[in-house]
Structure 1
């Protein structure tokens, strides 16, 4: 969805140019453990989005060769360096493009451990940060450097590309950052991402409850993201966020959204979230699975407030909340993320 937002930006800035999406990664079996572990490319199925795909420029035989060239590169074992190898395959097929997304194998790229299948070798700095004192210092340092971090992670010049070259770009993920400029395409985004009406009674009833109460979504992203979000569960992020909500929201209803494999873990660890499941009003949404998983995002959007981790799924849910006084919270460690508050 963030990448499609970038597509909308380019269409807005270059209305007379041909802009294409590419979905090559979804056609490569070797990426299933990471990118394709969800449900593949779903914008057409869920939102009815139909836009030009670069593969339509080629014959079936030519496209088969493009896919072969990309698969032969084994880019998923090379720091997930898809920009270089996809651009190379498209160029080889006759579509001359300049790669402005970067080279993830370059030591100057600043992109590390993109391949989440590989556990990085621990360093002294990494081990220190993964301690209570180290995490506290990291949060303080992030706060002090917030303006530089916001500029860095927004990737504004790359997303809002105004040049005239034929380029390969995308997946900057910068539109979820503060000062990203997403306002330029806010109307187009809301027009494009219109969820289908709820069909199941369980979701309809939950949506009505969330809309009529002081509901607070807790998006506890774990699973594949624990390597990036683990500190949220170790060093008090959720407790700080829940405390912040309690001080500002009367009679909050906390509603958990998490991956299926983490539901019981969340139920068994209320203290990590600063909650008492016997005294607080707490619900779990645990029935939207597989091809229905997107309904969780739709339900988060029905809430009045949200607590999220570093997850684009949770961020979109919080973004779509229409409550004018909404409180959305993300970790101080991710201070560049566009939420109303950070803890």
Structure 2
């Protein structure tokens, strides 16, 4: 989603989705949305890429997480972001045929295109009965989406900060003091951990109707909540950003990455979100 949004900001672009053809961790789900544009042919991609390269010195864990290659390409037709999650406005002023290579994870590139992106990131796949029922419950409440990501983040080699229960409980308390009757809808693949560790005086519902292959349904439910508590995850980031409530409260982690990779936190959290 970040790459698509950046591409719209960059202007007349063709999309390259070839990395998804061999990626066993991510599927290409943008086709389920209202996106527009054409994909580049293999010949067009080859023309824009260049094989003069230097080794990428970023840690392997960072490269793997953000699908970055082992090499940095220095020819002018291949444009790479210099640092993850940092706003580099000069990237949007390149002339001629260029190949953009990066993740571009900050709204500073595309905030002026918000209305267009709200349209383009509208899910075209209908919700099934279980999700329609959950959506009705969300719309009937002062709903707060809470996304708790564990899984790969528990790996000691993960570059991401591990958010313990205190972060989520403090965030829920922060919103509870500012929202009259909050109802927390909790999204997580580790529901056993949630039941054991996330207990408050507020009403809460664990949303466990979608598997990982249907995460786009969870995203749709998150964006329809009135407020959001996100993990250090671009999945819940987009759930919060696509929330159209003008009075929404979004709580995000102050430290996105572990201390040894903290310099990559950059501009990913918008200025009007609360950092805890």
Normalising by structure 1, report the TM-score: 0.64
Are 2:223 and 2:244, in contact at CA under 8 Å, matched by a contact in 1?
Answer: yes
Corresponding position of 1:27: 21
Work out which of the residue numbers 232, 235, 251 in structure 1 matches 2:163: 232
1:155 aligns with 2:87: yes
Deviations 1:75-105 (A, max 9, x none): xxxxxxxxxxxxxxx55xxx14469xx96x3
* Structure 2 gap ranges (5+): 66-82, 257-264
The 5 A counterparts of 1:1-343 are: 1-11=1-11, 15=12, 19-28=13-22, 31-32=23-24, 37-38=25-26, 40-44=27-31, 46-55=32-41, 57=43, 90-91=45-46, 95-97=47-49, 105-107=55-57, 113-116=62-65, 153-157=85-89, 159=91, 161-176=92-107, 180-196=108-124, 198-226=126-154, 227-233=158-164, 236-259=166-189, 262-270=190-198, 275-276=199-200, 279-334=201-256, 336=267, 337-338=269-270, 340-343=273-276
Cα distance in 2, alignment partners of residues 152 and 3 from structure 1 = 13
Structure label with greater radius of gyration: 1
Aligned residues between the structures: 245
Q: CA RMSD in A?
A: 2.8
Per-residue deviation at 1:330?
0.4
Are 1:6 and 1:175, in contact at CA under 8 Å, matched by a contact in 2?
Answer: no
Which one has the bigger strand percentage? 2
Per-residue deviation at 1:184?
2.3
Per-residue deviation at 1:285?
0.9
Which one has the bigger helix percentage? 1
Normalising by structure 2, report the TM-score: 0.78
Q: Provide closer, same or farther for how the CA distance between residues 204 and 187 of structure 1 changes in structure 2, counting only shifts above 3 A.
A: same
Deviations 1:196-246 (A, max 9, x none): 364322211221221221111110022233434453116x22122112111
Moved over 6 A (4+): none
Corresponding position of 1:143: none
Q: Provide closer, same or farther for how the CA distance between residues 210 and 54 of structure 1 changes in structure 2, counting only shifts above 3 A.
A: same
Are 2:146 and 2:230, in contact at CA under 8 Å, matched by a contact in 1?
Answer: yes
Are 1:198 and 1:204, in contact at CA under 8 Å, matched by a contact in 2?
Answer: no
